[in-house]
Amino acid sequence: MSQAAVAPVLVIHGGAGVIRHDMTPPKEKAVRAAMTQALQEGYAKLKAGKSALDAVASALTVLEDDPNFNAGKGAVFTHDGKNELDAAIMDGYTLRAGAVAGVQRVKNPILLARAVMEQSPHVMLSGAGAEAFAQSVGMPLVDPSYFRTEERWQQLQKALKEDAAKQPHADVETAKHFGTVGAVALDAQGHLAAGTSTGGMTDKRWGRIGDSPVIGAGTYANSGCAVSGTGWGEFYLRTVAAHEICMKVTQMRVPLKRAAAEVINQEIPSMGGNGGAIALDAQGHISIPFNTDGMYRGWIGADGVPHVAIYGDEDDGTAEMPAPAGSIAQP
């Protein structure tokens, strides 16, 4: 495709596993507003000629700052009553990547992940080391209390009671809402990027790290495909889900929608996992597969109109989106 044919696209998610009966009208309104804001701010970067990386980081910062999502402020609590945050970002054009895991004082982990990519010789930093690096590049740290919300605290108390009673967690199927946030973008230069940020799973122990900060598992981008996942992280790790989708697209020439569905709705469920993903290819095709009750999701393209959806039976507009300029519509 010629550069002139590339229309910028941004796709975001705020987590799969949404349960309709747990949603209140005020919460739904707040979630839709935050998703819309994230799309608008990220797309503004693309329209201004900024990179896909800029769009991803901008959109995810909005969601990290909103307490309705399990990332940044509003992250879930560990078994020990702490917030441990993970994030990753990847540039599909250069295959550069950065990630952080288990940080407790970083306001916007996605920005630290990008700093790791751009200002360190490493790909992933964790815990105290990641926080020391943050200070070394001038990124201020916040008090851990910044991340606390009463809703997340009560979710932990419920989980601890179930632990004590040796009961299976009633909400394990939603992985405590799988509130991971993610973004994938295609910029005017035809370059792709992906990013993911999360607080992990409620009641997680022993420094557990899921798929979100692991390049290839929950986050991956190359020259032809970008993916961010949300779901039961252990299964995304075992299938290297994001990388698997992109390899199907770029190496096996499988259409994006089919490739994403094969991994998210076939391979992962066959092992006992569930969740969703957002995927975007270099022609601007979008795929948003998920196998849970719902998934916070949205996209914005050439018309500049944000499309946001929550529930499984809700139209997110992707089925009717026009084929990108210079491309052939996918099956």
pLDDT tens figures, 97-145: 999 999 999 999 999 999 999 999 999 999 999 999 999 999 999 999 9
Alpha helix (H) residue ranges in 120-206: 127-136, 150-164
pLDDT above 70 covers a percentage of the chain that reads 91
For residue 103, the cross-strand partners are 85
Q: How confident is the model at residue 5 (pLDDT cuts 50, 70, 90)?
A: low
**Separation CA 233–CA 276 (nearest Å):** 11
Of 288, 234, 266, 304, the C-alpha closest to 14 is 288
Of 200, 202, 90, the C-alpha closest to 153 is 202
Question: In this predicted model, what pLDDT tens digit does every residue of 73-110 receive, in sequence order?
Answer: 999 999 999 999 999 999 999 999 999 999 999 999 99
Say if residues 13 and 276 touch (Cβ distance below 8 Å).
Answer: yes
Q: What's the DSSP call for residue 263?
A: I
35 phi and psi angles, rounded to 5 deg: -60, -45
Residue 324: pLDDT above 80? no
Residue 39: pLDDT above 50? yes
Domains in the chain: ranges and CATH: 3-311 (3.60.20.30)
| pLDDT average, residue stretch 283-309 | 96
Q: How confident is the model at residue 320 (pLDDT cuts 50, 70, 90)?
A: low
**Separation CA 264–CA 68 (nearest Å):** 24
Predicted local distance difference test score (pLDDT) of residue 178 = 65
Catalytic residue, candidates 61, 180, 196, 202:
180
Question: Has 180 been annotated as catalytic?
Answer: yes
Extract the tokens encoding 313: 């039976």
